[in-house]
Amino acid sequence: MKIKVDAEKLIAKYLLGDLTDPEKEQLDNWIKSSPQHEEFFNRLCTNMSFRKRYEAYTQINSHQAWKHFKKKYCQASITSIFLKYAAIFILPIIIAAGGWYFYTSSEIQVSDNLTLGDAIQPGIPKATLILAGNNKQSLTPTYPTPVKVNHSTTAIAQNGALIYPTTPNTNIDSILKQRSEVIENNTLTTEQGNEFRVTFEDGTTVHLNYNTELRYPVKFSQTKRMVYLKGEAYFKVAQDTRPFYVITDHGTIRQYGTEFNVNTFSPERTEVALVKGSISIIPTKSSQEQFIKPGQLAHIEQKNNNISIHNVDLTPYIAWNEGRLIFENRTLENIVEILEHWYNVDISFGTSELKQLRFTGNMDRYATISPILKAIARTTNLQIKIKGREILITDN
C-alpha cells in the first residue's frame, strides 16, 4: 500500500487549524482507511509534550512549513512514517520556525532494559598496520606518535589517522632515486567496531570503515597511484597527473582527483558512489570501461561482470563518512547487520518476519546504540532485550 504525500500536508494543516472542509473530509478518509493511520494520528495529536510545542508555533505560515518539509524530507521516503513496515525512526513530527523537525518525546514509555544500550559504545579509531615481512603494529594513539613504515620513511599516527610525509617528485634526482628503490607496500586493516583514516604521501586521504583492508605503496610510482581495497572506504584523491586506481575483487576504479565511496562488503557486487569529479570503472573480467558522473551510483556485478549505473541521492551511501547513519526504506535485517559491525554486538530476531520490516531514519553514528534501539521500539512496538552485547528483537 502506498501512502500519498498529501496525507502529511493534511495533518500539518490540521494541526495549524488551516484545513478546508474538503481537506478535512480527505483527512478523515485517510485516517479511517487503516488502523496504522488512526494510531499514528491519535498518538501525534494527544501527546501532551507535542501539544505544548505546537501551541508555541501556531502563528507559523503552514505553506512555508510544508514547502520546506517537502524539499528537505520527501525525497528521503518520509511518507513511510505512517506504516509499521516502513516507519520513520523518530516520532512525533513537530512544526517549527518555517520547517518540520523530528524529536524523541521523553513521555513515550520504553522498557528500562533499553537503557542498558547506553553502555554499548560506537566504534573507535583503531587499526592494524602490516609492514613488509608481515610485521604488525596496532594503531590507537590520540597524540602524535612516530611510526616507522619502512627503512627510510616515518609516518605520524594521531587522532585516529596515519599520516605519511609528502614526497614531491618534481626533480630528476628524486625520480632516479625512486626508480632505484624497491616498491614497499603497507596494509591497514580495521576490525568490527573500528574505523581509521590514512593520508598518503601524495596528499590523498582515505577513511576506512569497519572490517576493511587497504593495501598501498609507501611511495607511489612515477606513472600511477594504485591501491587495493576489501571492505568500504571513502576516498578524497589529491589532484595529480598520475591516475589513481582502486583495485577490488570485482573491478578497477580509475580517476585523477575526486571524491568517491567504494563498498565491497557484498560478495555479489562492488558499489561505487561518486561525489565529485569523474571516474571510470573496468570490471575484473572485461576491458570495457564505463564512466560515471557525480551523483551516480555504480554496481559492478560479480555474476555477469556487468556495470549498472543509477542516478540517486548519495546521502545514505556516504553518510557514514560524515558521522551519520542514514537508512532509506531499508530492511531491519540490513540495518541490524550495520549495527552489529559498528557497535560490535550480536543481534537476533524472535521471528524471521521481523527482518523484513522497513525503516527510514537519520541517526548519530557516534552516539551509543541506545537511541537507535529506542527509536525502533517506539515506532514499531517491538520488544528489544539487551544482555551484555547480545540483543534480541521480538514482537510485542
Give the helix/strand (H/E) hosting 13: helix 6-15
Among 118, 273, 131, 143, smallest CA distance to 188 is for 131
Amino acid at 26: Q
How far is C-alpha 63 from the geometric centre of its chain's CA atoms? Answer: 32
pLDDT tens for the chain, 396 residues long, are: 333 446 666 776 776 667 888 888 888 888 888 776 776 677 666 554 444 444 444 444 444 544 544 554 444 333 333 333 333 333 333 332 222 223 333 333 445 566 666 789 999 999 999 998 889 999 987 788 999 999 889 999 999 999 999 876 554 445 445 554 567 899 999 999 999 999 999 999 999 999 999 999 999 999 999 999 999 999 999 999 999 999 999 999 998 789 999 999 999 999 999 999 999 999 988 888 899 999 999 999 988 889 999 999 999 999 999 999 998 888 999 999 999 999 999 999 999 999 998 888 888 999 999 988 888 887 777 889 999 899 999 987
How far apart CA 326 and CA 306 sit, in angstroms, is 28
Contact assessment for residue 60 and residue 13, using Cβ atoms and an 8 Å cutoff: no
Give the pLDDT confidence score for residue 16 in this predicted structure: 60
What domains can be seen in the chain, in order of their start residue? 1-108+326-384 (no CATH), 124-317 (2.60.120.1440)
Q: pTM score, two decimals?
A: 0.73
The full 3-state SS of 79-109, as one line of letters, equals: HHHHECCEEECCCCEEEECCEEEECCCCCCC
Q: Give dist(CA 307, CA 296) in Å, integer.
A: 12
What separation in angstroms does the CA of 13 have from each of 3, 8, 30, 187? 17, 9, 14, 57
Residue with cell 494543516: 13
Distance CA 250, CA 6 (A): 43
What's residue 182's pLDDT? 66
The pLDDT, as a whole number, for residue 92 is 33
Among 305, 127, 157, residue whose Cα is nearest residue 231: 127
> Could you tell me whether strands 194-199 and 124-125 are parallel, antiparallel, or unpaired per DSSP bridges?
parallel
Phi then psi for residue 30, to 5 deg, are: -65, -45
C-alpha to C-alpha distance for 97 and 29, rounded to whole angstroms: 29
Peptide bond connecting 92 to the previous residue in cis, omega within 30 degrees of 0: yes
Is residue 158 within 8 A of residue 144, CB to CB? The reply is yes
C-beta separation of 359 from 87 below 8 A: yes
Q: Is residue 247 within 8 Å of residue 216, measured between CB atoms?
A: no
